[in-house]
Structure 1
Amino acid sequence: MPGLIVKFGDYPLHHGGVGAIRSLGRLGVPMYAITEDAYTPAAASRYLKKAFVWPTTGTEDPDHLVEGLLRVGRRIGRPTVLIPTDEEAAVLIAEHQDELAGRFLFPHVERDLPRHLASKQGLHELCVEHGIPSPTAAFPRSYDEIVDFAEKAVFPVVAKNREAFLRRARPAVNGTTKIATREGLLALARGWGEHPGVILQEYLPREEAEDWIVHAYFDQDATPRAMFTGVKVRSWPPHAGMTANAYVVDNPELADLAARFIKQIGFTGIIDLDLRFDRRDGQYKLLDFNPRMGAQFRLFESESGVDVVRAMHLDLTGRSVPEGEQRAGHRYIVENIDLPALLAYRRSGYTTPHAPARASGTELAWLAGDDPLPFLTMLTRFVRPGTKHLYQLWRTNRRGSTTGSGS
C-alpha cells in the first residue's frame, strides 16, 4: 500500500521526509510526497514514485487543504497511508478524519487531541492534569498580567509562542527565547500586542539538565508497538532547535513515563517527545509533544528493522509489528547543521554525560550510498542561502540566549 508524505509550509530542506521516503521505499512501498517544487531533496529521491508539487504556507483555509489532499489521493488512485511531517498536517488530518477516511489510512484519534498536544498551553494543562512533570508556566492575557508576572518571577525565564505550531506572519518571539531580567521582559512584551500569544516558562539551566528524546508508535488501544529513547547531543540553534546530533540510549524510566502518559490521554499514532532531565530535582520534564513523525526519527530502529514509520504502516495495513530491542549506541547526524552546532557547543564547553564514547553505528540524515541525489540537492539549495540562514540563527541565539528543545 502506498505512502504519502504530507507537509504544509515552505521548508524544502526537510530530512525527515527524505528519511520516510527511504525507509518505506527500500521495502518496496510506492512512495509519494507533497513538495514545494520539483527540485527539493525529497523530490530527487530514487525511492519517490511521484512528487505532487503543491506550494502551501500552512495558513490556508482547512477546507482548501482537505480538498487538495483528496485531489492528490484521487491521482494516486489507491488507498494510501498518510505520513504528516508537521503539526499543521497532523492537526488537519485529525480534525477532518471523516472526509479523508474513504481514501486514506491514518491513526484515528480524538479529534481535538493533536491540536491540544501541539499547543504549549494545551500540553502544559494535560501534564498538570495527569501528573507529568513540566516546567512551571504562566499564560498572560494582557500586558498588565505580564507586569504582575514580572514582579514575582525568578529570572531568567523562557518565552515561547503559545500556539507554536500555527504559522504566523509575525510570531511574538522567534523560537524559544531566554529573558534574563524583568526589564528585558517588559521591553520585549511591549511588542506583543494587546493579547500576547506567549507562554512564560521556568528556565531549566543547561548546566543542570540533559535533553532526551522519545519516539514511538501507539496503536488504536494506545499500546506501544515501537518505543525508542535517546539523548540529544547537539541542536541548532544551540540548546534550542532541531536535533543535529543524537544517540540511542536505553532509558526504561523515560519509556515508562511516555507510555503511561499516552495511555492516560488515549493518543494513537506516532509521537516525537522532547524532555529535559532536571538534575536539581531528578525529574524528566516534558517540553514538546509533536503528534507526528519527528525529523530525526531514523535515529531509531529496532534489531528487527522497525522504525516508527514502518511500525505505523504495518499496523494500519493489518500486519503485526515485529518486536525487537532498540539499537543502543547508534548515532544520528544531520550533516548541514551539525558542524556549526559542534563549533558552538565546544565554545560553550557543554557536554552530554549520557552520550556513548563510541557509536555502534551512524545514520546520516542526507547522505546515502543507494540514494545520493537528495544529499546533492540539499547542498545545492543550502550552500548560499543556508549559510546566511545559519548565521541569522546564530545571531538570534547570541542575542536572545535561547534555550529549549525542538525537532
Structure 2
Amino acid sequence: MGVRRVELDRSVPALLFKVGRYPLHQGAVGAVRSLGRAGVAVHAVVEDAFTPTALSRHLRRRHVWPTSGLENPATLVAGLLRIGGRLPARAVLVPTDDEAAVLVAANQDRLAACFLLPKIEPDLPAGLAGKRGLYRHCVAHDVPTPATRFPVDREQLVLFARELGYPVVVKNLDPWDRLRAPVVAGTTLVRDERRLVDLVGAPHGVLLQAYVPREWAQDWIVHLYAAPDGRCAPVFTGLKLRSWPPHAGVTTYARALANPGLARESARLCRAIGYRGPADLDWRLDLRDGRYKLVDFNPRLGAQFRMFETGCGLDVVRALHLDLTGRPIPAGAQREGRRYVAEHLDVAAFAAYRGRAGAAHRPGTRPGAAGSSPRGWRSTIRCPPR
C-alpha cells in the first residue's frame, strides 16, 4: 500500500510576496510548483511577466508589481491589500524574502483582512533577520554563534577587526539596509585591514564576525515550520556543499542529511523566542571546538526548501498552508539524499571549489554514502548523537 500524500485545502489560494528585484529565485519557483501541484491556486508578486516564477505553468496569476524596497511601508501594505481584495478568498500569504517577512509581521493585523498568516510578535522577525537582534537572542538563549562586534566608527572598525583576526566577515546590520543603503553587497570576507577600510564607508551600518576557516568548518541548513502551539514540525536538516561567492555566499549545491541534534537545537531556539511560521536557519559547525554556531535566521521560506520533504510529500510551504487552513500537519521523517542545485550559480562555484581541491577540507558526504558528491570530494560529516 502506497504512502498517502498530503491533501491541501484547494479552496484557499496562496499569494507569494516579495520586496525588491531578484527575478531568479529558486524558493519562489519551488513554492509555486509545490502548492500548484497540490491543486492550490497560486498567485505571485513578480517584477515583470517574464521571470521564471511568472512563467511557471503552475501559477494561476501573476501580479506585476516591481518594488525596490525604497517605498514607504504603508505603500507596500496598501498594495498588498489591493491584490488581496481581488482574490476569490482570503489567501495564505507567503513572504519569500526577509524584507517581506518583516513588513508582513509588523502589519499583520491590517493584512489579516485579506490574508491568512501566522500570529507572531510583530517585531520578532525584524529582530531575527537583523544581525544585532539575532546576536542578542543567541546570547540570551545560550545558542553558540561566531564572535561578533558592532563598530560605530572607523576606530572601532579597525580595533574590532584586529581583535577578531583576519580574514574577518562583514555583513549589513539590518535586512532593509541591503536594499536602501547597503555598505557591502552581501556577506563579505575581508582579508586585510587596508581592504576593510576601503570597503566600509559607514561602520555603524555593518557588523564584524569571526571567520571559521573553511578547512575547519561545515555549513548546515535547517528549514522548519513552527506551529502556533510551539511545536516545530517538520524540521529538516541538510549540508551546504558549495556557495557563491565561495564559502560566504548563497547556497548553490546542498544535500538533505538528517542531523537530529541540530534539528532539536533549532526547535528549542524557536520555542524559546516564541517564533511561529516557516524559517530558514544557517549553522556553521566549527570543527575546532565541535560546536554548531548560528550564522543566520531567515524568518520566512528559504530558497532551498524544496530540497526537503517527508515520505508523504510534506515540505515547509505545504505545512504552512495546512496549518493556516486548520488541517493537521502529518508527522514523518525527511527523505534522505535529496539534492539542491542552483545551476546558474553552481557552474562558477564548482570551478572555484575545484581550483582549491588541494585544501584540507572538501565538501562531500559521509564516507561510503550512496550518491556522494563528484569524485574525490568527500569529508567526514559530524552529526550529534541521535
TM-score norm. by structure 1 comes to 0.84
The reply to whether residue 121 of structure 1 matches residue 132 of structure 2 is: yes
Q: How does 1:171-190 map to 2 (within 5 A)?
A: 171-189=182-200
Shift of residue 55 of structure 1? 0.7
Distance (whole Å) between structure 2 residues aligned to residue 233 and residue 168 of structure 1: 28
| 1:215 counterpart = 2:223 | yes
Equivalent residues in 2 for 1:202-241, closer than 5 Å:
202-241=210-249
- 1:325-379 per-position Cα deviation (integer Å, ceiling 9, x unaligned): 101111122222222211111111252243674339xxxxxxxxxxxxxxxxxxx
Q: Is the 8 A contact 1:230 1:249 kept in 2?
A: yes
Distance of 1:34 and 1:159 partners within structure 2:
31
Match 2:151 to one of 140, 155, 175: 140
Higher relative contact order (CA 8 A, sep 6+): 1
Aligned: 1:255 with 2:263? yes
CA distance in 1, matches of 2:163, 2:94: 44
Aligned to 1:102: 113
The percent identity for this pair of structures is: 52
Shift of 1:36: 0.6
| Aligned-pair CA distance for 1:253 | 0.9
> Is 1:278 the counterpart of 2:253 in the alignment?
no
Q: CA deviation at 1:188?
A: 3.4
Structure 2 unaligned spans of 5+: 1-11, 373-386
Structure 1 gap ranges (5+): 361-407
* 3-state SS of paired residue (1:167): helix
**CA deviation after TM superposition for structure 1 residue 240, in Å:** 1.7
The answer to whether the 8 Å contact 2:43/2:62 transfers is yes
Q: Quick one: distance in 1 between partners of 2:195 and 2:108?
A: 44
Instruction: Measure, in 2, the Cα distance between the counterparts of 1:91 and 1:59.
Output: 14
- Does the residue aligned with 1:230 lie in a helix, a strand or coil? strand
**What does residue 377 of structure 2 align with?**
none
Q: Which residue of 2 aligns with 1:68?
A: 79
Secondary structure of the equivalent of 2:15?
A: strand
Q: Secondary structure at the match of 2:207?
A: strand
Give the drift of 1:152. 3.4
Q: Structure 1 CA distance, aligned partners of 2:362 and 2:370?
A: 14
Secondary structure at the aligned position of 2:240 is classed as: strand
Say if 2:35 is the partner of 1:21: no
Question: Aligned to 1:199, what secondary structure does the other structure show?
Answer: strand
Q: 1:94 to 1:355 in 2, by over 3 A?
A: farther
Cα distance between partner residues in 2 of 1:245 and 1:355: 16
Query: What is the distance in 1 between the residues matched to 2:371 and 2:113?
Result: 44
**Local SS of the residue matching 2:354:** helix
Confirm or deny: 8 A CA contact 1:172 1:196 kept in the other structure. Answer: no
SS in 1 for 2:89: coil
148, 155, 159: which one pairs with 2:170? 159
| CA–CA distance in structure 2, aligned partners of residues 355 and 237 of structure 1 | 24
**Cα deviations across residues 171-207 of structure 1 (Å, max 9, x unaligned)?**
2122222222334433434x22xx5311011111011
1:170: how far off? Answer: 4.4
Matched, 1:309 2:320: no
2:254 corresponds in structure 1 to 246
Instruction: For 1:359, give the aligned amino acid.
Output: G
**C-alpha distance in 1 between matches for 2:128 and 2:366:** 29
User: What amino acid maps onto 1:335 in structure 2?
Assistant: E
Q: 1:42 to 1:153 in 2, by over 3 A?
A: closer
Compute the displacement of 1:72 (Å). Answer: 0.2
2:371 alignment partner AA: A
Q: Is the 8 Å Cα contact of residues 178 and 185 (structure 2) preserved in structure 1?
A: no
3-state DSSP of counterpart to 2:93:
strand
Query: 1:150, CA displacement in angstroms?
Result: 4.3
Q: Which residue of 2 aligns with 1:354?
A: 365
1:265 paired residue number: 273
Change (3 A) 1:165 1:289: farther
Q: CA deviation at 1:243?
A: 1.3
Q: Does the C-alpha gap of structure 1 residues 353 and 338 become closer, same or farther in structure 2, counting only changes over 3 Å?
A: closer
CA distance 1:151–1:306, shift in 2 (3 Å): closer
Which letter maps to 2:370? R
Secondary structure of 1:226's partner? strand
Q: Give the aligned partner of residue 70 of structure 2.
A: 59
**Counterpart residue number, 1:294:** 302
Assess if the C-alpha contact under 8 Å between 1:304 and 1:323 holds in 2.
no
Cα distance change, pair 146–2 in 1 and its aligned pair in 2 (3 A): same
* DSSP-derived class of the 1:152 partner: helix
Alpha-carbon separation, structure 2, partners of 1:162 and 1:8: 18
In 2, distance between residues paired with 1:70 and 1:359? 46
Aligned ranges 1:183-202 → 2 under 5 Å: 183-189=194-200, 191-192=201-202, 196-202=204-210
Q: Give the count of matched residue pairs.
A: 357
Tell me the equivalent position of 1:393.
none
2:101 paired residue number = 90
Aligned AA (1:60): E
Residue 22 of structure 2 aligns with which residue? Answer: 11
- The DSSP-based 3-state class of the residue aligned with 1:212 is strand
Q: For residues 33 and 175 of structure 1, what CA distance do their matches in structure 2 show?
A: 25
What's the offset of the Cα at 1:43? 1.1
Amino acid corresponding to residue 172 of structure 2 in structure 1: N
RMSD of the TM alignment (CA)?
A: 1.6
**What amino acid does structure 1 have at the position aligned with 2:57?**
R
Structure 2 residue aligned with 1:321: 329
The 8 Å contact of residues 331 and 359 in structure 1, kept in 2 or not, is answered as no
**Higher helix share goes to which structure?**
1
* Deviations, residues 282-321 of structure 1 (Å, cap 9, x unaligned): 0000001000001110000001110000001001100011
Give the SS at the match of 2:138: helix
Corresponding residue number in structure 2 for 1:396: none
